[in-house]
């Protein structure tokens, strides 16, 4: 199965993608996470990406496609992948289609997470992320058992630099201008499934599983 998780920042794509990837034994390919590790490693690409991410803008398509190309060449991606936060522009969607086609593959489904803007703002500004394993928490609605400490691995929790209110607003603007047009594109390909992104994490997870199992039952995409 090759799935893309599409939706605004803060829609909960990462939380759900991580769980589903674990369950299916396929990699979660999150371009934001890849960029953040390049930034942490201090590579030239990482430093440039960090500068762009801090403003809430998007990293250029050719940089992203280079990262995706490298990632798909790793053996664990042969069985499938969950793309999380990618593609994010029409250019990336077209480049992905081409890249997968060359490999004799295609996207099976695109899951869109619908969440209101007020809820996105609340989630993002209260979000805390584990420095070690990437697990996410929320100060009010999903607090860790011990403040500042990850329940999963004991790592340190911190607030992402781009989760400040001003940058969150900018990210939402960038999303509506550059990413929202992908909804119509994938709708026209018959790949789009909508998931209610608000409510309990388990409820969303159940809805998402129904949506993906319906596709798996059809035997995946027609090649």
Burial (CB < 10 A; 0-12, 13-18, 19+), residue 116, is exposed
Contacts of 24 (CB under 8 A, 6+ apart): 1, 80, 82
| DSSP for residue 199 | S
53 binding partner (options Zn ion, ligand ADP, none; Cβ < 5 to 8 Å by kind): ligand ADP
* CB contact at 8 A, 124 and 176: no
Residue closer to ligand ADP, measured from CB, 53 or 109: 53
Contact letters for ligand ADP, residues 23-42 (x by CB under 6 A): --------xx--x-------
**Residues whose CB is less than 8 angstroms from the CB of residue 79 and which lie 6 or more positions away in sequence, other chains included:** 25, 26
Rule CB under 6 A: choose which of 64, 72, 182, 204 binds ligand ADP.
64
Strands 127-130 and 157-158: antiparallel
The verdict on whether 209 is a catalytic residue reads no
Q: Which is nearer to ligand ADP, 53 or 192 (CB)?
A: 53
CB of 111 to Zn ion, least distance (A): 25
How many Å apart are CA 73 and CA 90, to the nearest integer? 23
**101 tagged catalytic:** no
* Catalytic site positions: 13, 88, 127, 160, 171
Contact positions vs Zn ion (CB under 5 A): 130, 132-133, 135, 150, 152-153, 155
Contact positions vs ligand ADP (CB under 6 A): 9-10, 31-32, 35, 52-53, 56-59, 64, 85-86, 88, 92, 162, 171
């Amino acid at each position: 199965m090759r799935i893309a998780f599409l939706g605004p920042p803060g829609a909960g794509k990462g939380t759900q993608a991580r769980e589903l990837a674990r369950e299916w034994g396929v990699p979660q390919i999150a371009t934001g996470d890849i960029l953040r590790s390049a930034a942490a490693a201090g590579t030239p690409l990482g430093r440039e990406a960090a500068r762009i991410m801090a403003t809430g803008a998007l990293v250029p398509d050719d940089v992203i496609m280079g990262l995706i190309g490298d990632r798909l060449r790793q053996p664990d991606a042969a069985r499938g992948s969950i793309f999380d936060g990618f593609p994010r522009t029409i250019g990336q969607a077209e480049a992905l289609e081409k890249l997968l086609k060359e490999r004799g593959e295609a996207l099976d489904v695109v899951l869109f997470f619908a969440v209101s803007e007020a809820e996105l703002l609340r989630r993002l500004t209260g979000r805390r992320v584990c420095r070690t394993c990437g697990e996410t928490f929320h100060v009010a609605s999903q607090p860790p058992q011990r403040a500042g400490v990850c329940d999963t691995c004991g790592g340190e929790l911190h607030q992402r630099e781009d989760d400040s209110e001003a940058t969150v607003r900018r990210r939402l603007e960038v999303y509506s201008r550059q990413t929202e047009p992908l909804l119509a594109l994938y709708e026209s390909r018959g790949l789009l499934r909508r998931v209610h992104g608000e409510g309990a994490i388990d409820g969303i997870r159940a809805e998402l599983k129904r949506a993906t199992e319906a596709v798996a039952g059809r035997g995946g995409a027609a090649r």
